[in-house]
Amino acid sequence: MIKSIPCSIESEEALIGTMLQSQMAISVAQSKLRPIDFYSERNRIIYESILAMNNRTIEVNAESFLRYLKENHLLEGVQNDEAYLMRIIDGSSFPQNAGYYVDIITEKSLLRELIYATQDIQKSAYEAGDEQTKEIADYAEKKIFEVTQRRLENDFSTIKELIYEAITTLETRSQNQNSNNITGIPSGFDGLDAVTHGFQPSDLIILAARPSVGKTSFALNVIENIIKNSETMNFGIGLFSLEMSKMQVAERLLSSKAGINSNKIRTGQFDKDDWHKLGMTFNTLSKANLLVDDSSQLTIMQLRGKARQMKYKFMEIKRTTGVDVELKIIMVDYLQLMHGSNQGKRSFSSREQEVAEISRGLKALAKELNIPIIALAQLSRGVEARQDKPRLSDLRESGSIEQDADLVMFLHRYKPGKKEGATETTETINSNNSEVELIVAKHRNGSILESLPLTFTSSLTRFTNKETEQYQQ
């Protein structure tokens, strides 16, 4: 049995009739409905013409609309059927029903797009080669994601809308100059935020260091800072931990947030004050919108799929609880532990090519979700051999990481006697604390930062600002 394509011509006609009689109906439709959502070609032409008249501040009614069609030679597009227009107007309902008709039209349009998308997916699946299964699965997921996203928001903007939004944003920034001009997601480290103005949407951010310098700790500290900031506490955060288990992540967060020695966390030897701190920390962290995935053998395609699932998860939380939460940032610990799309099939002639695919995939995902992605990365041994600060060329296994990244940061631990004015004695008085500098070596949309001194307390796995003065760009 052949089924008909989903559509509601009656709803299209009813909506057009209300738009020809009410400015309110035009506003409701224009904010939610795209011309392509109309199934009937002539209804689509009528809708576009009404919007064109409205945008040119021409009063929309039956008489003016007919005149507009004739003057712009559009009557042929509606089959020269003036009687059709009159019938629509005569049969139209109350303008208050415009939203109801809009919902029906958009839902039918969504169903059609899903049908077209699945037909495209089927065609690709039939034509796929022996080693393209994962690529087709990722393509299918992306196609469905794109369609369902359009159900939630329009996927187009006029330049007028964009300019108006930009001016409004600039006015807001101008009025809030005392908030350190943070336009993205603040890291909680003043010197870094002064340069970056926060981590920006669609940016790929690389945090690189040699092993055991504190990459994971710094990333978790940023998560803590987001959670405790009143302006960002409801932000959705995704963490992919390829190196540590979920429980280890939780213990790290408890230790740092509660200020309890990590050895106590591992052994369970707490005193009464420690239990009080843990209770307070539990109340804070349990309310955080943080999703953790500790899959150890992730491919770039699997990570992209899981990231989309995280976005849907936060959307569901928002729908069921009413809390205004959505995915705002993703962290990956760490990049070199990931695999390319064809893991185990030796489709890459070198590990450098595989890492290049991973970095490109992360950048594409940041743009697709319009959020910053922070990926931790290893530096090569060349840094230790030179006993010097890291360089962009030290990024291990692929120069494409440097190319794809919008922001590249290094963590560099001072060696005893190497920091100006320091000696081995002064550097090792307190083995619990060490001096680490944060370096912004690449910043696609701003200035770099040669050195931001930080103190790392190893027993708490916590970074803190070493100095209190403000760092200005």
**Domain definitions of the chain by residue range:** 9-152, 185-465
Residue 20 in contact with residue 29, Cβ under 8 Å?
no
153 vs 251, more confident: 251
Q: Please name the residue that has the structure tokens 């992209």.
A: 304
461 vs 203, more confident: 203
Q: Please name the residue that has the structure tokens 């150890």.
A: 296
Kindly compute the dihedral angle of the four CA atoms of residues 274, 288, 237, 142, in this order, to the nearest 10 degrees: 140
Tell which residue, 297, 284, 372, 295, has the closest CA to residue 327: 372
27-36, 66-75, 396-405: least confident range: 396-405
Q: What is the pLDDT of residues 126-149, one digit of tens each?
A: 888 877 787 888 888 878 877 776
307: Cβ–Cβ under 8 A, 6 or more apart, which residues?
A: 238, 327, 330, 365, 369
Tell which residue, 202, 239, 205, 176, has the closest CA to residue 365: 202
Tell which residue, 244, 257, 264, has the closest CA to residue 286: 257
d(CA 80, CA 72): 13
Residue 473 has pLDDT above 50, yes or no: no
Residue 105 has pLDDT above 90, yes or no: yes
Question: Mean pLDDT throughout 371-382?
Answer: 87
Q: Please name the residue that has the structure tokens 């200005």.
A: 472
Instruction: Specify the CATH number of the domain 185-465.
Output: 3.40.50.300
Radius of gyration of the chain (CA): 28
Whether this prediction's pTM lies above 0.85 is answered by no
Q: Residue-wise over 35-52: b if at least 16 C-beta within 10 A, else e? A: eebbbbebbbbbbebbbe
The SS3 of residue 245 is: coil
d(CA 460, CA 469): 24
Residue 425 has pLDDT above 50, yes or no: no
CATH superfamily entry for domain 9-152:
DNAb Helicase; Chain A (1.10.860.10)
